[in-house]
């Protein structure tokens, strides 16, 4: 059986029994949709991903885009695929019907997108970056910019990018140097950007870059950054004219090789036109709308890349006879599939716990995004706070633990996994990027501890505590093992206490002391949050079994994975809490020469 990419039944279970898609469909924004439409949407993208995108994955990985005469050329197979990929309608799926979208919940769109990412992870970026660029123009652009740029972007006849990073300014956007000088109804933009995904290609006639730059005389730091729309080709009297955006080179990446990543020079000849989007000096705040959406999508890539590898290793393990049970000394007896060996079972169940735990967390965040955007009253504000808190976790957990899962998928394949004849090595390369782009894991740790848990005197963390308590109550009622419930509940109290302690440390000794172990804090916080999701899934599985739903093994599998995650991870959280509490200082105090 071909790789399913994402397990159908698990996705259905998470959407309906865990996250509760039906409650979202009751919102006025989504009144036109019902479950049948949501199912049909996911199913169409699923089929396309399995039948068209997945078979092309290895080819596009083996033969990345090339630079010819200043233009990035994608693989001919991608040229064939693009019209079908574009016409699925994912770019505009979540946008309002007034501007040509389908007004689907982000929860449904993301569930569909996961299949594209699992089948051929780099290709979704062409769509996702375009969605993000169009959303920025819709939210902050002038009427003239909307009139000119929205339709071709939403239809996918043009694509979009986000152009933030510069050679000397990656994570530190405060240090960008690209300049914008007023010139009539536009600005003249000059500067260099690097690692621009989809920054150049030959799939569409135009590419719309959303560029961060400084207006001449702007204040230093992030308060002097503005957002500009800079097209590769600028509309000029009914035709498209070159806009002085040059490709300086393509990055030779180890993964995501179907997607060109370019170094771009803007205004080499002093003729690069850009148009201000939103208020001057407010560009970073605007861009963060795109970044926050992008971070959840990158979380999706982490889940999807771990999922496709998990499914591959599971199928391999079931079909690979090797060795005999330890108690069987009869060398003439048939070999057993490696799924019968305890260590292989460990590797498979751990992958499952990471993949499905990450999936549940990600889809919870998508639901919160829908409620924050289109909910009403207190639920709207509450959802926004909780989403902000969980976004760094939803971005980094699938990347970091997903990488571990990808390693396990390779390990299950043994020597074959280390060869390029099998796919796990490619997914391992792809997964690594997810802990680097759209804010490294280090940045996510700083964001979580330095900003998100501290906001409004810990309001978001209190809301999360209430959500966890509600899950514990549901689990207790469903008959989930009380030891699991206690472990999640008690860990939550310890995380809360540690957070308070670190906040006090920050007040007394400054941010450096508070954030010294932000990476460990992100790690332990993420493990606990995912344990919360596994408790929710355990409750849903118990309820399903009590209702006599079948197949029983499916729900037993959920309980086993919940047990694995909660019973093996919560003790590790305790150890990390101790490290944070003690403020272990080795890497702070080691002299530079001592490395």
Q: Which residues contact 351 (CB under 8 A, 6 or more apart)?
A: 306, 309, 310, 313, 314, 405, 408, 409
Q: Which residues contact 526 (CB under 8 A, 6 or more apart)?
A: 393, 396, 397, 400, 401
55, 76, 84, 219: residue in contact with another protein (rule CB under 8 A): 84
Contact between 300 and 110 (Cβ < 8 Å): yes
Q: Which residues contact 527 (CB under 8 A, 6 or more apart)?
A: 569, 570, 572, 573
Give the residue with the Cβ less far from another protein, 374 or 554: 554
Please identify, among the stretches 81-89, 172-180, 377-385, 536-544, the one whose residues bind another protein according to the rule CB under 8 A: 81-89
Residues from 403 through 442 that contact another protein (CB under 8 A): none
Please identify, among the stretches 83-91, 204-212, 240-248, 255-263, the one whose residues bind another protein according to the rule CB under 8 A: 83-91
Q: Does 88 bind another protein (CB under 8 A)?
A: yes
> Among the options 166, 400, 438, 536, which is catalytic?
438
Closest CA to 356 of 87, 511, 190, 558: 558
Q: Which residues contact 36 (CB under 8 A, 6 or more apart)?
A: none
CA distance 413 to 220: 52
Token digits of residue 272 = 């690069």
3, 5, 15, 41: residue in contact with another protein (rule CB under 8 A): 41
Contact between 118 and 308 (Cβ < 8 Å): yes
Residues from 53 through 72 that contact another protein (CB under 8 A): none
Token digits of residue 466 = 């209430």
| DSSP per-residue codes, 268-308 | TTS--EEEE-SSTT-HHHHHHHHHHHHHHHHHHHHHHHHHH
Nearest distance from residue 408's CB to another protein, in Å?
26
47, 346, 380, 572: residue in contact with another protein (rule CB under 8 A): 47
Nearest distance from residue 103's CB to another protein, in Å?
9
Please identify, among the stretches 1-9, 229-237, 484-492, 585-593, the one whose residues bind another protein according to the rule CB under 8 A: 1-9
Q: Does 318 bind another protein (CB under 8 A)?
A: no
Q: Does 588 bind another protein (CB under 8 A)?
A: no
Nearest distance from residue 96's CB to another protein, in Å?
13
How many residues can be counted in the chain? 595
3, 10, 102, 226: residue in contact with another protein (rule CB under 8 A): 102
What values do phi and psi take at 524, rounded to 5? Answer: -70, -40
Residues from 508 through 567 that contact another protein (CB under 8 A): 550-551
Q: Which residues contact 138 (CB under 8 A, 6 or more apart)?
A: 95, 99, 146, 150
Give the residue with the Cβ less far from another protein, 57 or 397: 57
- Concerning whether 312 is annotated as a catalytic residue, the answer is no
Nearest distance from residue 129's CB to another protein, in Å?
18
Q: Does 104 bind another protein (CB under 8 A)?
A: yes
Nearest distance from residue 568's CB to another protein, in Å?
31
Give the residue with the Cβ less far from another protein, 50 or 193: 50
**What stretch of H or E contains 234?**
strand 233-236
Binding to another protein by CB under 8 A, coded x per residue (else -) over 239-268, reads ------------------------------
Nearest distance from residue 279's CB to another protein, in Å?
33
DSSP helix/strand/coil, 33: coil
Give the residue with the Cβ less far from another protein, 92 or 190: 92
Nearest distance from residue 4's CB to another protein, in Å?
9
Token digits of residue 400 = 């970091």
Nearest distance from residue 1's CB to another protein, in Å?
6
Give the residue with the Cβ less far from another protein, 84 or 479: 84
Hunting for tokens 């700083």 — which residue is that?
A: 446
Neighbours of 139 (CB within 10 A): 13
CA distance 556 to 311: 18
Give the residue with the Cβ less far from another protein, 127 or 291: 127
Contact between 244 and 234 (Cβ < 8 Å): no
CA 188 to chain centre: 34
Secondary structure letter of residue 333 according to DSSP: S
Give the residue with the Cβ less far from another protein, 33 or 352: 33
Give the residue with the Cβ less far from another protein, 88 or 222: 88
Closest CA to 322 of 241, 412, 402, 227: 412
Nearest distance from residue 88's CB to another protein, in Å?
6
Hunting for tokens 């043009």 — which residue is that?
A: 158
Binding to another protein by CB under 8 A, coded x per residue (else -) over 15-34, reads -----------------x-x
Nearest distance from residue 93's CB to another protein, in Å?
5
Q: Does 90 bind another protein (CB under 8 A)?
A: yes
Nearest distance from residue 567's CB to another protein, in Å?
31
Q: How many residues bind another protein (CB under 8 A)?
A: 26
64, 65, 89, 299: residue in contact with another protein (rule CB under 8 A): 89
Closest CA to 258 of 441, 58, 442, 398: 58
Neighbours of 219 (CB within 10 A): 11
Please identify, among the stretches 47-55, 350-358, 462-470, 585-593, the one whose residues bind another protein according to the rule CB under 8 A: 47-55
Give the residue with the Cβ less far from another protein, 29 or 564: 29
CA distance 580 to 572: 13
Give the residue with the Cβ less far from another protein, 315 or 486: 315
Give the residue with the Cβ less far from another protein, 326 or 553: 553
Q: Which residues contact 231 (CB under 8 A, 6 or more apart)?
A: 149, 158, 206, 207, 208, 209, 243, 245
Q: Does 572 bind another protein (CB under 8 A)?
A: no
Hunting for tokens 């633990």 — which residue is that?
A: 401
Neighbours of 594 (CB within 10 A): 6
Residue ranges binding another protein (CB under 8 A) = 1-2, 8, 32, 34, 36-37, 39-41, 43-44, 47-48, 52, 84, 87-90, 92-93, 102, 104, 550-551
Residues annotated as part of the active site = 438
């Amino acid at each position: 059986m071909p790789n399913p990419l994402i397990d159908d039944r698990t996705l259905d279970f998470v959407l309906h029994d865990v996250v509760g898609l039906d409650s979202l469909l009751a919102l006025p924004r989504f009144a036109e949709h019902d479950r049948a439409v949501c199912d049909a949407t996911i199913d169409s993208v699923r089929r396309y991903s399995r039948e068209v995108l997945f078979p092309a994955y290895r080819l596009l990985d083996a033969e990345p885009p090339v630079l010819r005469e200043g233009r990035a050329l994608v693989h001919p197979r991608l040229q064939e695929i693009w019209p079908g990929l574009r016409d699925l309608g994912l770019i505009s799926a979540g946008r309002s019907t007034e501007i040509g979208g389908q007004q689907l919940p982000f929860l449904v769109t993301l569930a569909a997108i996961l299949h594209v990412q699992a089948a051929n992870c780099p290709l979704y970026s062409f769509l996702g970056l375009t969605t993000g660029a169009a959303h920025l123009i819709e939210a902050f652009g002038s009427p003239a910019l909307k009139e000119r740029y929205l339709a071709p972007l939403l239809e996918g006849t043009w694509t979009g990018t986000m152009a933030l990073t510069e050679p000397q300014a990656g994570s530190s956007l405060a240090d960008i140097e690209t300049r914008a000088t007023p010139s009539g109804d536009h600005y003249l933009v000059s500067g260099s950007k690097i690692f621009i995904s989809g920054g150049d290609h030959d799939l569409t006639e135009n590419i719309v870059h959303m560029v961060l730059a400084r207006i001449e005389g702007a204040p230093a730091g992030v308060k002097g950054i503005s957002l500009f729309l800079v097209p590769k080709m600028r509309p000029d009297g009914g035709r498209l004219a070159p806009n002085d955006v040059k490709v300086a080179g393509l990055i030779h990446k180890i993964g995501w090789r179907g997607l060109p990543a370019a170094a771009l020079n803007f205004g080499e000849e002093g003729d690069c036109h850009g148009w201000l989007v939103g208020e001057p000096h407010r560009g970073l705040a605007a861009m963060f709308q795109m970044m926050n959406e992008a971070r959840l999508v990158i979380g999706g890539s982490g889940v999807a890349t771990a999922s496709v590898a998990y499914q591959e290793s599971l199928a391999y393990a079931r079909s690979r006879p090797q060795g005999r049970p330890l108690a069987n000394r009869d060398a003439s007896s048939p070999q057993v599939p490696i799924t019968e060996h305890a260590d292989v079972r460990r590797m498979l169940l751990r992958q499952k716990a990471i993949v499905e735990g990450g999936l549940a967390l990600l889809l919870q965040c998508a639901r919160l995004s829908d409620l924050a955007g289109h909910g009403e009253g207190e639920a709207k504000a509450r959802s926004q706070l909780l989403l902000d808190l969980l976004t760094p976790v939803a971005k980094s957990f699938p990347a970091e633990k997903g990488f571990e899962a990808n390693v396990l998928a390779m390990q299950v394949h043994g020597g074959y996994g280390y060869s390029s004849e099998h796919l796990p090595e490619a997914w391992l390369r792809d997964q690594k990027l997810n802990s680097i782009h759209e804010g490294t894991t280090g940045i996510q740790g700083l964001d979580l501890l330095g900003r998100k848990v501290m906001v409004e005197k810990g309001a978001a963390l209190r809301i999360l505590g209430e959500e966890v308590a509600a899950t514990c109550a549901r689990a207790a009622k469903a008959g989930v093992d009380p030891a699991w419930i206690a472990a999640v509940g008690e860990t939550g109290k310890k995380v809360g206490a540690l957070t308070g302690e670190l906040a006090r440390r920050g007040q007394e000794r400054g941010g450096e002391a508070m954030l010294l172990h932000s990476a460990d804090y992100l790690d332990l916080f993420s493990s606990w949050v995912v344990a919360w999701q596994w408790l929710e899934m355990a409750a849903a599985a118990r309820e399903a079994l009590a209702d006599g739903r079948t197949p029983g093994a499916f729900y037993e599998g959920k309980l086993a994975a919940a047990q694995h995650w909660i019973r093996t991870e919560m003790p590790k959280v305790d150890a990390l809490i101790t490290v944070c509490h003690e403020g272990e200082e080795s890497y702070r105090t080691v002299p530079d020469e001592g490395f």
